[in-house]
Chain A
Amino acid sequence: MVIYGVYIVSKSGGLIFNYDHNVPKSETEKTFSYPLDIKLKYENKKVIVEFGQRDGIHIGHVVYAINGIPVTERKLPDKRDVFEVLENKDNYPINIKFGRPKMTTNERIFLASMFYPLFAIASQLSPEPKSSGIEILEADTFKLHCFQTLTGVKMMVVAEPNQAGIDILLKRIYEIYADYALKNPFYSLDMPIRCELFEINLKTVLEQVEKSGISNI
């Protein structure tokens, strides 16, 4: 049982909780000699691999660090531009660390609010009246399971595509939400959930599911 993440979207469409679980880490470090045989480009404030996949470096990976020095956007801490550094033959051999781009909190909030209209459109597109919104969204590397409560809160779990029984897990997450977020008198509705007990209990359930399967929760 592999679960990649849990998201909770409020009634008004804002992301109120997200938790990354068991994301496969892929960072590759490699020393290059001149000229660089990987094509890089600058996009969305990141230096990403455009072409030339090899040795665990995949298209779409971003440059994390050069010679151990972290890269922010396209600059090194001493204000040198990454592309200028890589074009200069004197800097070689050079060590570059690549990895999967990490989603920032802003990007997550953006994506969560994108799902909200998709869900609504799905229910309107339906040929049958009174259809629900998207319940399962399937891709080749993951499946997104969504459960909307009667009050309009959406619980979402991103899991491996062949995972069964996620609907039970979603109900269980709903129970945890009702218990540890809503019964906390200092939590206000529709605000981001920053309740430690909620997170602890959620993690416990996810670990149980991971170890002993869905039937034991």
Chain B
Amino acid sequence: MSRASTRFDTKKVNSELVTLTYGSLVAQMVKDIEHLDDVNKQLDRIGYNMGIRLVEDFLAKTSSGRCLDLKDTADKIQSAIRMYVGVQPNVANWSAAGDEFSFVFDTNPLIELVELSEDLKTLRYCNIICGAIRGALEMVQLDVQSWLVQDQLKGDSNTEIRVKFIRKLGDAIPAGEE
């Protein structure tokens, strides 16, 4: 819908603002929480809570329908990431069964100004995106796992987020939607 997309364009903000805000959040969490594993978990949880709300925003603004297969889902998340993060990741590395794929980010605004010191090597800085994907899909009755496999902050050439389809939450599908 052209009407919705024009409205969305008016609300763009500088990506550095997002980078810095997110950076200060993570820095504060590293300071406050003793174990980096717990920071990773919390980031995932924050992402999840954002995802379950953001999905409605995405659906309202794009008026897209229900996904019929995982390829469809991947496309939609790809466009959602473009909407909210400002970069378009590639969808790649499909598993043979077609139930697993990766989003590969060449550039990632979240880590634009970031470098990790030696003692933060186990921090999964972009975990919030994994959580957001999981939360958003859960709201449309898809149970997935998502995790970071490659991280530019750890010296990899790309950031890669893996998404694995677990099952469809059949009993949670609203009436008249099956």
Contacts and interface: CB of A to CB of B under 8 A. Distances in A.
A31 interface: no
Contacts of B59: 149-151, 174, 178
B155 interface: no
Interface stretch (B37-45, B93-101, B169-177): B169-177
Contacts, number: 63
A14 B87 CA distance: 38
Interface string B24-66: 0000000000000000000000000000111111011101011
Interface stretch (A16-24, A43-51, A67-75, A115-123): A115-123
A207 B173 CA distance: 34
A171 B65 CA distance: 13
Contact of B176 (A11, A119, A182): A119
Nearest to A117: B175
B57 A123 contact: no
B148 interface: no
A132 interface: yes
A120 B56 contact: no
A105 to B, nearest CB: 25
A120 B175 contact: yes
Given A151-B55, A151-B56, A151-B139, A133 B175 contact: yes
A138 interface: no
Contacts of A26: none
A152 B56 contact: no
Which of B4, B60, B139, B173: most chain A CB closer than 10 A? Answer: B60
A81 interface: no
Interface string B157-178: 0000000000000001111111
B140 interface: yes
Contacts of B176: 119-120, 122-123, 131-133, 148
Given A177-B56, A183-B53, A150 B177 contact: yes
11 contacts: A119-B175, A124-B175, A130-B178, A131-B176, A133-B175, A149-B59, A150-B65, A152-B174, A175-B4, A175-B61, A182-B53
